Amino acid sequence: MTPQHLFHTSANPGAQPAVFLDRDGTLIREVGYLARPEQVELLPDTPAALKQLQACGYRLIVVSNQSGVARGYFTESDVQAVHHHLQKLLERNGVYLDALYYCPHHPEGKVAAYRKECRCRKPAPGMIEQACRDLNIDLSRSAVIGDKASDILLGRQLGLMTILVLTGYGKETLRKMGGENRTQPDHVCHSLTQAAQILCTRIATP
């Protein structure tokens, strides 16, 4: 199943690294099945951290599981309205996302059209695969940032650098990881700002 996406910019002639960013709990406050634009609240350091990543040459791509659609809590139109509002909030701070992708499916969803096993629900790689088809991305220099184990698993199976942020569900995720090597992130950061500093240092190092 092709992941849902809202928009994307044209690919540049030269491949660029990308940061694949979780949405809830990473860029915005976790509220649980966010359904309305007025619920969107950027985490305090989100604009500055994203501007730093853009300045370092990273493309900014949001990849988000939105099983609330399959569960019947809200519609795809609601998700698109939320993403439009998120985009406007970021643009006011000089940040322009390259793309937003979301997966509306869940294998136990109540809405039949979305009740399925799919290739786009994280940690499955479908959203990143779609981004690579849409944009000219250098995966070898790309990374995944998120607050859940599914974000870390997504990055690890594709060989990307993984960063767990301790916002949202991050602290709970870290406690549950234990000694499972397959879910261990490359870095654990208290904030998106710290994650951006790590990635910008990495890309500046020959």
Give the pLDDT confidence of 35-71 residue by residue, as tens digits: 999 999 999 999 999 999 999 999 999 999 999 999 9
- Containing structural domain, residue 81: 4-11+19-204
pLDDT per residue as tens digits for the range 1-43: 335 444 444 344 589 999 999 999 999 999 999 999 999 999 9
**Which position among 24, 98, 134, 147 bears the catalytic label?**
24
The reported pLDDT for the residue numbered 183 is 79
Q: Has 24 been annotated as catalytic?
A: yes
The reported pLDDT for the residue numbered 1 is 39
Least Cα distance to 45 among 202, 198, 195 occurs for: 195
If 0-12 CB within 10 Å is exposed, 13-18 middle and 19+ buried, where does residue 23 land? buried
Separation between Cα atoms, residue 155 and residue 1, nearest integer Å: 19
Sheet containing strand 59-65, strands side by side: 4-8, 99-103, 59-65, 18-21, 143-146, 161-165, 187-189
Our count of domains for the chain comes to: 1
Q: Has 186 been annotated as catalytic?
A: no
- CA separation (Å) from 108 to 64, 70, 72, 77? 18, 8, 11, 21
Mean local confidence (pLDDT), 176-197: 88
Separation between Cα atoms, residue 8 and residue 59, nearest integer Å: 11
Q: pTM of the full predicted structure?
A: 0.92
What are 79's two structure tokens? 């998700």
**Which position among 22, 134, 147, 151 bears the catalytic label?**
22
Which CATH number do you get for residue 121?
3.40.50.1000
